[in-house]
Amino acid sequence: MTERPNPTVPPTPGAVERRAGPAAFASMDDESLLRTMAAGETGAFDELFSRHSGAVFTFLSRLVASRGDPEDLLQETFLRVLTHAADFRPGAAFRPWLFTIARNAAYNSLQKRKLRAEVEVQTDFRSAGIPQALQDRAARSTSSDPSAQLQAEERNARLLAALEELPDAQREIIVLIIFSGFSYQEAAAITGDAEGTLRSRVFHALRKLRERLKELS
């Protein structure tokens, strides 16, 4: 008597996703990765973090300047991405959604710090799980010439000092438009302000930056 072979049971879509390797995730767009992550695939989260953590860290560093810890805010941002992935609206773009989360985390942190300062409570919010330094490649010189690198670092320090002196709303829009590369339409979606308002802020902020950089140079 011939033994009948066991029928092959096709794997569920979730099982296929859970077996997907790094190469499969690298070929997926951000929105697909987010949906896969919401279904429980941690590898999709790792890919999103790898793609966007540097840009988000740069954004947070320039937004909060010396008033906050960008590493801590970076971790909080991606934890919110992890816990709110299911809330992502189909058809929306991932990057503006991500930076909206980062922006909210930054302003919530600044508000809490302000309230804590009023009652003189000192708290260390540095947490584990995020590298101590994510390189800001956009602000660092890749030159092997020490003198050129020193000049680049000095220019960057002057720029950051001038940025920190801007009002919050002006600094935010400069970071979004100039440094993070968002369009005015995307920046409007992140901030909730009209495009015309943002264009006016950029104009006044750039004028202040030019004047301040002249003074610092």
Cα–Cα dist 145/147, whole Å: 6
Mean pLDDT of 160-167: 86
Cα–Cα dist 69/43, whole Å: 27
Q: What is the pLDDT of residue 155?
A: 78
Among 9-18, 64-73, 126-135, the range with the most confident prediction by mean pLDDT is 64-73
**Dihedral angle computed from the Cα positions of residues 24, 30, 36 and 40, in that order, rounded to the nearest 10 degrees:** 110
Q: Are 180 and 59 in contact (CB under 8 A)?
A: yes
Q: What is the set of domains in the chain, with CATH numbers?
A: 28-118 (1.10.1740.10), 146-217 (1.10.10.10)
Cα–Cα dist 177/183, whole Å: 6
217 SS3 class: coil
Better pLDDT: 10 or 130? 10
CA distances from 42 to 18, 20, 129, 217 (A): 8, 11, 15, 47
Task: Tell me the pLDDT tens digit for each residue of 63-119.
Answer: 887 777 889 999 999 999 988 998 898 889 999 999 999 999 999 888 877 654 443
pLDDT-derived band of residue 20, with 50, 70 and 90 as boundaries?
A: low
Q: What is the pLDDT of residue 78?
A: 93
Cα–Cα dist 172/72, whole Å: 19
